[in-house]
Amino acid sequence: MAEDQDWRGNVGGMNWERAERFLGGNALARVACLDDEGNPYVVPLWYTWDGEGFFLVVRERARVAQYMKKNPKVSLVVDEAAVDDERGEYILPKVFCQGRAEIIEEPNVGGKWVSIAEGMSVRYLGPDGPTYLVPTLTQPRWLIKV
């Protein structure tokens, strides 16, 4: 194997400042929990990082929310494979989390989840994001924090 491993790019750990910047981007969170039979269940979700935890806004009938309510142990990863255009090297920023899902709000219309979802819609879909969200505001959603 070659001594020079520049080909690996930046695949090591991130400092806190870089992690905070990364979590403010638009990568999806992959949330893992256990289904009713004890099997792993993983779903990609939008999230908001508040500096202490991840907020998830989930539609009422989403199985992931029901599973987390029954068994709050979860794992979460936010990752993104890319090439750094400035340096031309491969980067793989990633943040892992294991914790407990805290149900902040059961499914409801007009709760705290609305302002969080509005921010997510802009972050993930751009300035017109609310045009996607607004027609669905009558659909109840969970607010969960990991």
Average pLDDT rounded to a whole number, residues 62-89: 88
Structural domains for the chain: 6-145 (2.30.110.10)
pLDDT tens digits, residue range 41-60?
Answer: 999 999 999 999 999 999 99
Torsional class of 126: left (φ above 0), alpha (ψ -120 to 50), beta (otherwise): left
Mean pLDDT of the chain: 90
Give buried/exposed letters for 104-116 (b at 16+ CB in 10 A, else e). beebeeebebbeb
pLDDT tens digits, residue range 4-17?
Answer: 544 444 556 778 89
C-beta of residue 76 within 8 angstroms of C-beta of residue 54: yes
